[in-house]
Structure 1
């Protein structure tokens, strides 16, 4: 299922319809129930789930002409990615144009530079200054997961006490650039450069760029002296 298909499916669900209604303006339980043809309790259950996921928040109250004030629900900033955006087709078109107009070596240099610049957003973190190579690798895995990967180090690497001359392999079942990798496999170089910049270690991409891409990077755990 593509991202757009998943979004359409979500917005056909009751919770998706609640999110769509709240995107227009804040609403009370009673107002949402009336729009959706549901009971107040059913709406409260869905709102509780959306609040738990961080998509909806309570903001103040709305006073009715009669009766008690009702809580007003609004969308939280975390709900923004639920809505379709033009980022993906725009980036795809940009990469197609760059691939057509730039020599391969220049395109690869550009992608590596982007990866290095992206890493700068995290380089101020204390973990980036750790003298332990494996600590920096673990931290880089956390950064990659923050970007949407489901990354982990291969079994056995975590138990290494002397990293000199050893190698770690990072695998991710979910690639953060999965929608673009099949058409633009050179994007793996961007992530390779990101990891190299974060860890200050040699990194080599060994990714699977098939229809469902999976990240794989080999990292040399060289201890500095």
Structure 2
């Protein structure tokens, strides 16, 4: 997933555009942002090939632009699809040795996926942090996040891990491992596309460590302002 799509506002824009084409005014109402702010985020998404704009038909005057969601191009030999195939083969080899080797390999893969994305861990709002972390693995336009009490229900309608996960089911554990490392969430899997369900469904809860870390960070900021 392109890095630009990991921003919480861009995730909301992609979800709106997946429901159908939208004008700039439509997206302003959806996000509550100014015209300039929405245009800025759309330009970033257009640059990554996730959004396209076309003029609408209007009887008179200048027709408004219609923005539409563009699904990512299918994987080829130069894309993450090849890396997933290699990882699946490595997991199969590790499985033949011991479960401990599988866990170590998944932890290493999760560390690699999360490297260089420290800004996600710094997002104070849990839902925004969860959405940004999910966008690292999944297309935001096919991912739904809903609050469920003190937790969040996550539904993934299209999983890029599926082809490799059918060969190595352990790959399904990559998402919970990444989310725990990247955003401090514990994921409990309820449904799985690789097991025949229509979508993957998780229950995501914030770990105590993540809650404490953000509390300490907020306290340090307040303390810093007090000393200033």
TM score, norm. by length of structure 2: 0.49
Larger radius of gyration: 1
Select the structure with the greater relative contact order (CA < 8 A; seq sep ≥ 6). 2
Greater helix share, 1 or 2? 2
TM score, norm. by length of structure 1: 0.49
